[in-house]
């Protein structure tokens, strides 16, 4: 039989097994993979009857499913290295914010940025992600806080999804921060969040809705209003909650069957007990804790309780300016005490389940998308033991090789800038 690609000489192939949340990982040794029309059509010990246009020799290395980064703030204007000095000198974030810095400076830069410059900047980030083995991401708006800029961010997501090999799930996050103009009229701002949601749904600009539910920003009631509206419109929910202080956001999110609750540094035992009964992704973001010198979310406790834990980068210009999901994975092992197998599930099958794509992405099996990576490690434990470098040498997305020997293969339809 003729196929597009055959991968031979795979030392070990690791893949999560369904059901999600069982944390089971299969290890296959000395196998070959046949890929045709973007799909995996065979994983067997010898595929001699398959004639391939391209044969990739894995040289005895490890093959894993492509990683899924389930929480990013991909599209934004500017960067904040000018605040780095202040941060290192211990100036509190709230003081930086008062001087017009922090999220406010990113909002201003994003408002002023052209679509072209946003595309160029985000495309570069996607290239970094791809080299680190990420083949699908979730990306939020949230640096406009007004109708036009929020839509501009989502439109950039849409264009990138069409042109870059990485698949992008878009989330509408106008309720990321309260604009100064609405300082004394928060309800009116939430009204505008709800009003814009209808058109966004109609224009298919986002599949999910998010709100930053934290003390002094948006509260339980605001979260409830956003969840209610999103549910009515058939948009799924992914909620920022319990990062700084638990104020009830997690309970509300779970009541509305959110697909994901994110951060969870301060999640209570009661809320863990509620979350374990659901298929909501408990998405922890350890790179943010690292960058802000904050405690780490109790991921070990959540896995032990039976929650579906995810690990994501939270890539953003303020609290985690890094696209490197592998670093988050290392922190999940070293600082949160998760095992390599648990973390593999947390960056593949679990986020795929929460994004509703687990019927074709998130594991390696016949009939699944050929989204996979080759890592220059002898086994899965080594991937986590040897930290701080990029282990990924080759990336196949939708059955096409997009990274070869650590170099991006750029096709016409890939490069935007």
CB 207 within 8 A of CB 169: yes
Closest distance to Zn ion from the beta carbon of 175 (Å): 12
Closest distance to Zn ion from the beta carbon of 265 (Å): 12
Tokens 């509260």 found at? 219
Closest distance to Zn ion from the beta carbon of 388 (Å): 24
CB 400 within 8 A of CB 107: no
CB nearer to Zn ion: pick between 167 and 314: 314
CB nearer to Zn ion: pick between 271 and 314: 314
353 alpha-carbon distance from chain centroid = 13
Binding mask 310-339 for Zn ion (x = CB under 5 A): ----x-------------------------
CB nearer to Zn ion: pick between 194 and 264: 264
CB nearer to Zn ion: pick between 140 and 414: 140
Tokens of 53: 């246009």
Closest distance to Zn ion from the beta carbon of 72 (Å): 8
Closest distance to Zn ion from the beta carbon of 312 (Å): 9
CA distances from 331 to 85, 250, 284, 324 (A): 24, 23, 11, 11
Closest distance to Zn ion from the beta carbon of 214 (Å): 11
CB nearer to Zn ion: pick between 35 and 118: 118
CB 230 within 8 A of CB 236: yes
Binding mask 373-402 for Zn ion (x = CB under 5 A): ------------------------------
Contacts 24+ apart (CB under 8 A), 103-107: 103/143, 103/176, 103/177, 103/318, 104/177, 104/180, 105/78, 105/80, 106/76, 106/77, 106/78, 106/80, 106/143, 106/317, 106/318, 107/143, 107/144, 107/145, 107/149, 107/177, 107/179
DSSP per residue, 377-416? SSSHHHHHHS-SS--EEEEEETTEEEEETTEE---TTT--
**Residue count, binding to Zn ion (CB under 5 A):** 1
CB nearer to Zn ion: pick between 169 and 414: 169
Binding mask 295-314 for Zn ion (x = CB under 5 A): -------------------x
CB 192 within 8 A of CB 174: yes
Number of H helices, E strands in the chain: 15, 17
Closest distance to Zn ion from the beta carbon of 365 (Å): 31
C-beta nearest to Zn ion: residue: 314
Closest distance to Zn ion from the beta carbon of 71 (Å): 6
CB nearer to Zn ion: pick between 155 and 314: 314
Binding to Zn ion in span 10-39, by CB under 5 A = none
Which residues form the interface with Zn ion (CB under 5 A)?
Answer: 314
């Amino acid at each position: 039989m003729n196929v597009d690609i055959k991968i031979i000489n795979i030392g070990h192939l690791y893949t999560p097994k369904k059901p999600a949340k069982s944390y089971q990982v299969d290890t296959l040794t000395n196998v070959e993979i046949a890929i045709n029309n973007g799909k995996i059509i065979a994983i067997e010990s010898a595929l001699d009857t398959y004639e391939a246009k391209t044969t990739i020799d894995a040289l005895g290395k490890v093959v894993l499913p492509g990683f899924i980064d389930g929480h990013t703030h991909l599209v934004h204007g500017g960067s904040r290295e000018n605040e780095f000095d202040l941060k290192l000198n211990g100036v509190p974030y709230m003081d930086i914010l008062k001087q017009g810095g922090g999220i406010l400076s990113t909002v201003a830069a994003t408002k002023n940025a052209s679509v072209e410059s946003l595309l160029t900047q985000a495309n570069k980030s996607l290239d970094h992600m791809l080299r680190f083995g990420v083949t699908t991401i979730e990306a939020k708006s949230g640096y406009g806080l007004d109708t036009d800029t929020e839509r501009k961010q989502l439109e950039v997501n849409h264009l990138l999804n069409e042109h870059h090999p990485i698949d992008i799930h878009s989330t509408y996050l106008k309720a990321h921060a309260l604009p100064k103009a609405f300082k004394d009229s928060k309800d009116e701002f939430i009204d505008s969040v709800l009003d814009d949601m209808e058109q966004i749904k109609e224009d298919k600009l986002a599949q999910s809705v998010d709100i930053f539910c934290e003390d002094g920003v948006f509260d339980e009631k605001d979260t409830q209003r956003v969840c209610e509206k999103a549910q009515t419109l058939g948009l799924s929910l992914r909620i920022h909650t319990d990062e700084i202080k638990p104020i009830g956001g997690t309970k509300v999110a779970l009541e509305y069957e959110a697909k994901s609750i994110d951060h969870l540094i301060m999640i209570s035992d009661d809320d863990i007990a509620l979350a374990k009964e659901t298929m909501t992704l408990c998405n922890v973001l350890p790179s943010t804790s690292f960058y802000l010198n904050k405690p780490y979310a109790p991921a070990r406790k959540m896995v032990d309780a039976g929650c579906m834990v995810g690990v994501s980068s939270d890539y953003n210009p303020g609290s985690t300016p890094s696209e490197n999901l592998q670093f988050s994975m290392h922190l999940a092992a070293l600082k949160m005490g998760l095992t390599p197998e648990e973390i593999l599930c947390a960056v593949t099958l679990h986020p795929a389940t929460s994004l509703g794509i687990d019927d074709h992405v998130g594991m390696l099996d016949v009939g699944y998308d050929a989204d996979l990576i080759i890592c220059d490690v002898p086994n899965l434990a080594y991937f986590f033991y040897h930290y701080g470098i990029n282990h990924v040498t080759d990336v196949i997305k939708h059955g096409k090789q997009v990274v070869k020997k650590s170099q991006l293969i750029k096709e016409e339809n890939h490069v935007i800038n």
